Chains A and B, each alone.
Chain A
């Protein structure tokens, strides 16, 4: 008779234990580590809907999340998390409830429960690791997929622009919304801490490279996020109470080509680089205007 033994090294503390099944270069792996570092040991419960994040848990004992984790159905992460958060409140516990979801579960199938939880201002942190694709089911487009990008369901390049989820969430007037860059660690950790000390619904959007779907080199992932920030495609900013804005980093003139040339998903006949530049400029004109007109308060 053999007895199953547990390698204690596998059960070390940590949100994502070693030996997980994530692809090389997956933004989620680094995101989990920085989330943990930002929270500095705070107790939390994870709610993860159907997405690569569920697969990452792997099969015991090769890997599993080192915190209580509910792997729930695709459409219901924010609802399940609302239930968890409600019990925390009833029990007078200050444990954090954290949704960790992909873009499909955020922008598409999960947006009804996300919107409702935000409208109720549930006391939870909702983090979307946005790899701009259904990475877990064969690389289909989501409404987070940027225009012109080739996916298995947009073989000639996506016709529609990416949905502006930050604007949607800000319109719910939630206490805190921010974008997270895997190339800006201090900014990332500060925003995690801000989210931690804020009460009510907090929404964090993390651009999460997916070398499999983006058709990029795994070693390029962090640099790709850095380039996305520098060329203006992925603005780093925070929104307080849905109305007051703070921009954390501005484009430095890095050409868009530096970002798209290293991802074969952008090699589509339909790619219109000039239109892409105009779109980035328009987004920054808008962001600059609102941030100037409705700035964040000192100390926020």
Chain B
């Protein structure tokens, strides 16, 4: 295809198609609406279904139904829509549903600024529904990464039977960049494990807590059960505390156990640097400029960009902190991910937030000024 001039939302649609997404449902919402438009064009062309739902509760509901019936499903929205997704995200967790959820973040809370960017849904994504079970969330910084991480999100969803978030923002979603999607290296496609037609089937079978149960499509050879209530491995309702705990341990372990395996980070380390900038999303592009300029002035500074936000890429962060005395964490929110860095940083390491939530981007100069790099 060569180089194209694409917006992030289109790259997400293309990444989904590359992952053979064949079901999409969404509801109009700025700045995510064009994903709905692209998917309405692309998905039917491969024999799949794309639907404009009547609201966000329906959007994710459609996707859960389709995913459990065997399709690779995605939905896309922004903050107000994620708020309405909340209960069904819990259903996707308790029912172990592979599903990709795109959040093109805008300034919140509530309607906020519909056409203005923000990255204020970081901890909201982590604690998005009742129960507090772990989630997987990826955060692209460029149009090319929006394509790549959406593709990878499908792989993670299928592999771990879990909802997976792609956390982008208005700035990435509706900004165009030149990009050659074919030049982006992608891992092999992952399809969900399915139980053979003649095999015995339990909807949530596992031996060890971190095992990921094989699936059987609704309407297939088995009597598939799916429930929003606490249940056992057979998806029969249960009130037995020991069984309920066993299931909770399973939902938790299957994500936590692989946290470091699914950690995607970009490292730009400088030898003997004592300052580290940890960033993600659109702000990481300002961080890259801040690092370049600071180095040009003779400062020694390293950079760690997180593409996996949840689960926390703990090992990668701890390794990056080695020898570091000051960590700068720029965020388009009031310091949400800084909480994770403060939790991990050894005693004596200063963690400095560069925070702004007024719909404008954080500039390299602001990072340098607040971070003490000037």
Query: Which A residues are within 8 Å of any B CB, using their own CB?
Result: 50, 54, 71, 73-75, 104, 108-109, 111, 134, 136-138, 140-141, 143, 152-153, 155
Contacts and interface: CB of A to CB of B under 8 A. Distances in A.
Interface in B19-78: 27-30, 33-34, 36-37, 40-41, 52, 54-56
B44 to A, nearest CB: 11
Contact of A138 (B33, B40, B41, B55): B33
Given A109-B56, A137-B33, A138-B28, 6 more contacts: A136-B30, A137-B29, A138-B33, A140-B36, A152-B33, A153-B40
15 contacts: A71-B111, A73-B80, A74-B80, A75-B84, A108-B55, A109-B27, A109-B56, A137-B33, A138-B33, A140-B28, A141-B52, A152-B33, A152-B37, A153-B28, A155-B40
A134 B40 CA distance: 16
B329 to A, nearest CB: 31
Contacts of A109: 27, 54-56
Nearest to A109: B55
Contacts of A153: 28, 36-37, 40, 52
Nearest to B39: A153
Interface of B: 27-30, 33-34, 36-37, 40-41, 52, 54-56, 80, 84, 110-111
Contacts of A71: 111
Nearest to A138: B33
Contacts of A104: 28
A104 B110 CA distance: 18
B47 to A, nearest CB: 17
Interface of A is mostly: loop
Contact of B33 (A50, A75, A140, A141): A140
A111 B40 CA distance: 24
A50 B54 contact: no
A146 to B, nearest CB: 16
Nearest to B54: A108
A128 to B, nearest CB: 15
B8 to A, nearest CB: 16
Contacts of B80: 50, 73-74
Contacts of A73: 80, 110-111
Chain A CB within 10 Å — which of B27, B52, B80 has the most? B52
Contacts of B56: 109
Contacts of A74: 55, 80, 111
Contacts of A108: 54-55
B106 to A, nearest CB: 12
A147 B173 CA distance: 31
Contacts of B111: 50, 54, 71, 73-74
A137 B30 contact: yes
Chain B CB within 10 Å — which of A54, A71, A143, A153 has the most? A153
